[in-house]
Structure 1
Amino acid sequence: MEIVVCVTGSIAAVESVKLVRELKRQGMNVTCFMSDDACKIIHPNAMEFATGKNVVLELTGDIEHVKYAQADLILVAPATANLISKFAYKIADNPISTLLITAYGYSTPIIFVPSMHDSMYKSVSENIERCKDDGIIFIDPKREEGKAKFPSIQDITLQTLRETSEGKLRGKKVVITAGGTYEEIDSVRGITNRSSGKMGLEIAKEAFIQGADVTLITGSIKVHVPKIFGRIKINSTAEMKKEIIKLIPESDVFVSAAAVSDFTVEKTSEKQDKISSKEDLTLYLKMAPKIINIIKEINPNIFLVGFKAEYNVSDEELISLAHKKMESSGADLMIANDVSIKGAGFGSDKNQVIIVDGDTFTVPLTSKTEIAKKIIQKIIMKLDN
């Protein structure tokens, strides 16, 4: 994948080296253009090191603006108020603005990452909208301390991967749950589990990369969630159910990756203050709602993916239990795993799973990122059929 990263004269240019290194780690071949003002903030040698290529600082007889205008993507990070405004009115007076106008003529995808003082950001809002009308993609900055700051490198990388992917889920609405639910005992205590939310997050990221409109519903999690796709925070199983019921009728895919509590506490009053720790306590538990069992009732046409976690069982028993859960829920796909396997499951970056539908496919111990890719590939294949 060939992409061009354009670095302009914002102090956020100091983040560009790390950004390019991450893009390279994702398998991208990167060429860099730098403006004169950018060179006053970071030395071109830094970007040459990051890309492994000479940095384009001026246009020569090699007609660099034409040579690189038909790349798979052009990423302007950071994009200053000056650059945005020039492009809005198609002014070409330096190598970067000339490249962008040439690329626009070729319909090459272009992403702008604005970084500037907040007052400047507000002042160029009309020019930003003008650029968006021309099809330019903008990644929203972090608005804090009176500045429109460079967003996270993860967000920029995800958007870049999305725009350069095959986009096989483009136009699809995908809802994914992640993390553990929390069932309140009193005002300070509750029942939960050790789910980190890593698996659900990786599936959400891969669905986003493939072009889906992603909503991630999170309970208790231990991972950073990118701001680039939708997120709804919940605590209890009941809260999760309420949010899912709102979203499912208009969704195409639902992935139930969260570790949803099987039990909730039966309370004697609506609000339970902190229970005294001076005496023994008996808790009465009741079954929590089985969210996965209502999905197909709400939307029979949705593609439903469930997870089945067991502890210290044989593969045969795990597959059998996964099939039973598929039958009871109407799921189209079930991801089964044994959480007793060393180095896998809750809190780990790795897992070992069996993907169950009409057939079974075992994924040996590997990263949750790779497992997410296989799950999304399976969903795409099923939707195509």
Structure 2
Amino acid sequence: MEIVLCVTGSVAAVETVKLAREFKRQGHSVKAFMTQEATKIIHPNALEFATGQEVVLELTGKIEHVKYSQADLILVAPATANTISKFAYRISDNPVNTLLITAYGHDTPIVFVPSMHDSMYDAVSENVAKLKEEGIVFLNPRLDEGKAKFPAIGDIVLESIRTVNLDRVKKNLTDDSLDESEIEDLNMEMLSKIAGLNVLISLGGTFEEIDPIRGISNRSSGKMGLELAKEAYRLGANLKILAAHHEVEIPKVFDVIDAKSSSVMSEKTIELVPDFDVFIATAAVSDFAPIVKEDYKISSSLNLSLEFEPVAKIIHQIKKINPDIFLVGFKAEYNIPEERMIQCAKTQMQDAGTDLVVANDVYKKGCEFGSDSNEVILVSDEIKKVGLNSKSEIAKSIFKEIANKI
């Protein structure tokens, strides 16, 4: 993917070296343009180091504004009130704004990442709204301490890749239009199937209160669910997350509903599934809950005996509510033979009507709760084994299987 990073005169320009390096780390090409005001905050040499390419500071006989106007994405980060307002009225008095106007004429996707004082952001809201109506994507800033601050680097990268993928679907691009590295990472047929789908993902482990201070939970970290959410978002799905207790930082660009307990998880799931095309149930929902929940802290000086009751399996209700939904279940087992694990997955398919079950053994090295890797078996009308790999790569394999089956 070829990205043109336009850096303007906000103090958040200091973050662009890390941003460019992250794009490069993920295998993308980055070319930087800078306004003169930006060079007062960060030296062009820093961005030349980060991108591995010469930075465009002025337009020359090489007509840089034309040469780079048909990149995969024009990313303005940070975007000042000045740059936003000039582009809204097609003023081209610097390399960045001239590039933006040329790129817009070529229908190249453009993403703005505003960064300024919140009063300035409010003052240019009409210009922002005007550009949004024209198809320009804006990544909402972090509103904090009276400032519209630069979002997390990961959020910017996610939104950028999503924007490019949605643009490819809109333009009906084929694999023939991609370079070899992109073909390996992205199948256009898969992208066209996933983009625009309503995808619901549950993640983490539910917490069942014993009293206002204590409770029981499980060791689910939410890492696998998060990687699946990131992949869904990158592929252009309309994503919603139901989040139980988790140990991961969920990107601010995601639409998240808290569902800490099994009862809330059940309530929200039943409410939402009628409107979704795909439900990926990665959350580890408690199998048992206390029969009695005290509304005061139980004294630690007492001998304590607790009674639990089984919790109704949420996954068994999904197909009854929405028979057409593509339902993905997870089956975590511990130190059992592979044949038995596959049989457990098939039993879930029979009982719950799941279309795909992701089975794994958390006893195996590298597959433990909280690990960054996994080894899974994809069980549907066929059996596919996915060897030990990062959870981000496992997520890609799962979505390829969903696209093949949906």
Give the alignment's TM-score, normalised by structure 2. 0.92
| CA distance, structure 2, for counterparts of residue 371 and residue 7 of structure 1 | 35
Partner of 1:328: 351
Conserved? CA contact 1:238–1:289, under 8 Å: no
Counterpart for residue 121 of structure 2: 121
Q: Which position in structure 2 is the counterpart of 1:378?
A: 401
Provide the rounded CA distance (Å) in 1 between the counterparts of 2:112 and 2:163. 13
Report the equivalent of 1:301: 324
Once residues 223 and 312 of structure 2 are traced to their aligned partners in structure 1, the CA distance between those partners, rounded to angstroms, is 23
2:337 equivalent in structure 1: 314
The 1-side partners of 2:286 and 2:9 are apart by: 51
Equivalent residue for 2:276?
A: 251
Q: Report if the CA contact (8 A) 1:13-1:78 is conserved.
A: yes
What's the offset of the Cα at 1:188? 1.2
1: distance between equivalents of 2:380 and 2:161? 29
The SS at the match of 2:66 is helix
Query: Counterpart amino acid of 1:148?
Result: A
Match in the other structure for 1:369: 392
Task: Give distance in 1, aligned partners of 2:337 and 2:140.
Answer: 48
Q: Is 2:375–2:388's contact at 8 Å kept on the other side of the alignment?
A: yes
CA distance in 1, matches of 2:223, 2:349: 23
**Cα offsets for 1:328-356 (capped at 9, x unmatched):** 00000000000111221311111111111
Post-superposition, which runs of at least 4 consecutive aligned residues in structure 1 deviate over 6 A?
Answer: none
Amino acid at match of 1:76: V
1:359 to 370, 379, 382: 382
For 1:199-227, what per-residue CA distance to the aligned partner results, in whole angstroms no more than 9, with x for missing partners?
00100010000000111111110010001
Cα deviation, 1:313-332, whole Å, max 9, x if unaligned, reads 01111001110011100000
1:271 CA displacement? 4.4
Q: How far did 1:277 drift?
A: 2.4
- C-alpha deviation, 1:382, in angstroms: 1.4
Amino acid at match of 1:100: L
Q: Which residue of 1 aligns with 2:214?
A: 189
1:382 maps to a residue whose letter is K
Helix, strand or coil: the match of 1:223? coil
1:54 and 2:54 matched: yes
Alignment check: 8 A CA contact 2:210 2:294 kept: no
Q: What is the one-letter code of the residue matched to 2:85?
A: S
Q: Structure 1: which amino acid aligns with 2:103?
A: A
Q: Give yes or no for contact 1:32–1:56 (8 Å, CA) kept in 2.
A: yes
CA distance in 2, matches of 1:34, 1:276: 63
Q: Does 2:359 match 1:346?
A: no
* Unpaired segments ≥5 residues, structure 2: 166-187
Listed as ranges, the matches of 1:91-240 within 5 Å are 91-165=91-165, 166=188, 167-168=191-192, 169-240=194-265
How far apart are the structure 2 equivalents of 1:93 and 1:380? 46
**Structure 1 residues not aligned, in runs of 5+:** none
Matched to 1:108, the amino acid is T
Q: Secondary structure at the match of 2:221?
A: coil
CA drift at 1:381: 1.6
Residue identity over aligned pairs, in percent, reads 58
User: Per-residue deviation at 1:186?
Assistant: 1.4
1:16-55 equivalences in 2 (<5 Å)? 16-55=16-55
User: Is 1:278 the counterpart of 2:301 in the alignment?
Assistant: yes
Other structure's SS at 2:351 match: helix
CA RMSD of aligned residues (A): 1.0
Query: Could you tell me how far 1:3 is from its partner in structure 2?
Result: 1.1
Match of 2:174 in 1: none
Amino acid at match of 2:19: L
Cα distance between partner residues in 1 of 2:265 and 2:323 = 20
Matching residue of 1:73: 73
Residues 72-128 of structure 1 show CA distances to partners (whole Å, capped at 9, x for unaligned) of: 110000000000000100111111100000000000000000000111000000000
How big is the shift at 1:279? 3.0
Secondary structure in 1 aligned to 2:231?
helix
Q: Which amino acid aligns with 2:229?
A: A
Aligned residue number for residue 185 of structure 2: none
The one-letter code matched in structure 2 to 1:260 is V
Shift of 1:196: 0.6
Q: How many pairs does the alignment contain?
A: 381
Equivalent AA in structure 2 for residue 59 of structure 1: L
